[in-house]
Chain A
Amino acid sequence: MSFINYASREINCKIVYYGPGLCGKTTNLQFIYNKTAEESKGKMISLATETERTLFFDFLPLALGEIRGFKTRFHLYTVPGQVFYDASRKLILKGVDGVVFVADSQEERFDANIESLENLKDNLEEQGFDLEKLPFVIQYNKRDLPNLSSIEELSNLLNPRKVPELEGCAMTGEGVFETLKAVAKLVLNDLKKGG
């Protein structure tokens, strides 16, 4: 959970990007990394295979600025999306403050999205979290591709709770910062409530 440091007047929060394999979690982080000013970001770490598939996690530390005299830092993580890396995925969710679910909008990945979302719920439960109570947003990624499920269809299935949902194209960066902002807002609001 968040780390409030009165000594250095910092607040640190952890956000995890979750979703099926090849949905664009790492691409989201890469875009944020490329578009963020040098002084606001740390090094991006990718623990990936030789074929650039995420093996353990990607990590990107961001300093967003100050709120009420406290430096606000967000640590962004992605999980490995491939089904057989489930043991690693569980570990990344430890101490999470907010979750972004990156859905792959392509028709043929419809089932993979559902499977991954179910997996997210199960793994959160194992860590003692309830997705219903956690800051959570959904990004419908790859909206630039031709064979898409409609937003309505995706939303009905993946977002019954109607959490903030955004359309995105992580390759061009469309919706990427909007997604980050949406989840950061929920996390900070949670903090405000003393969560």
Chain B
Amino acid sequence: MLGPQSSLVMYDEEYQRILLLLERLLRESNSKVIFLVDKNGQLIAATGETANLDTTSLASLTAGNIAATGGLAKLIGEKEFSILFHEGEKDNIHISIIGGRVILVVIFDQRSSLGLVRLRVKKASNELAIVFEDLVNKTEQEAMSNSAPSPFAEITDDDIDNLFN
């Protein structure tokens, strides 16, 4: 499991595996949009009808939501609430925590149902958790072997200054 303070690193291979899993979940659960967010509010991946959606804001608010309900959980002696569900007039949001650090968000309407979404999410969660396990192992190995130096090791002050010009 990813620690709360370790940097999240995403590689191409794992990203593709995640996308495939999300796309399959989208089909099998008949949902509209699915996205995956780091608990710190960073968007990891998204699929479905995302064109008119502000996914960055959604990611940040989802993480805030999970953080707030996590705080509530602790107050009553629970570790966390691993599933949240918001019901709207047309669209609904199903939010669940994967592997302790990543948040899976499924947006669906009347073409699907809460039962179906819960069922499919459960299966996909286990598979996604494995990818994130692999990702953590890979990150650790890369860090230990030092074979590929960080692309940021060579950053100069000029590079940073240029960002603000």
Chain A residues within 8 Å of B, Cβ to Cβ: 1-8, 11-12, 14, 42-43, 45, 47, 56-57, 59, 61, 64-65, 67-70, 72, 75, 87-88, 90-92, 94-95, 127-129, 177, 181, 184-185, 188-189, 191-192, 194
Residues of chain A lying within 8 A (CB to CB) of residue B67: 91-92, 94
Residues of chain A lying within 8 A (CB to CB) of residue B155: 67-68, 188-189, 191-192
Whether the pair A65, B162 counts as a contact (CB closer than 8 A) is yes
Number of interface residues of B (CB under 8 A): 40
How many A-B pairs with Cβ below 8 Å? 132
Which one, B1-9, B26-34, B120-128, is touching chain A? B1-9
Residues of chain B lying within 8 A (CB to CB) of residue A1: 5-8, 40
Chain B residues within 8 Å of A, Cβ to Cβ: 4-12, 14-16, 38-42, 44, 54, 56-57, 60-61, 64, 67-68, 70-71, 150-155, 157, 159-160, 162-164
17 A-B pairs (CB sep. < 8 Å): A3-B7, A3-B42, A4-B9, A8-B10, A45-B61, A59-B61, A61-B56, A67-B159, A67-B160, A68-B155, A88-B68, A91-B70, A91-B71, A95-B4, A95-B5, A185-B157, A188-B160
Residues of chain B lying within 8 A (CB to CB) of residue A70: 151-152
Whether the pair A61, B71 counts as a contact (CB closer than 8 A) is no
Whether the pair A5, B40 counts as a contact (CB closer than 8 A) is no
Whether the pair B41, A68 counts as a contact (CB closer than 8 A) is no
- In whole angstroms, what is the CA distance A8 to B42 when docked? 13
B139: min CB distance to chain A, Å: 9
Whether the pair B6, A42 counts as a contact (CB closer than 8 A) is no
- In whole angstroms, what is the CA distance A42 to B43 when docked? 13
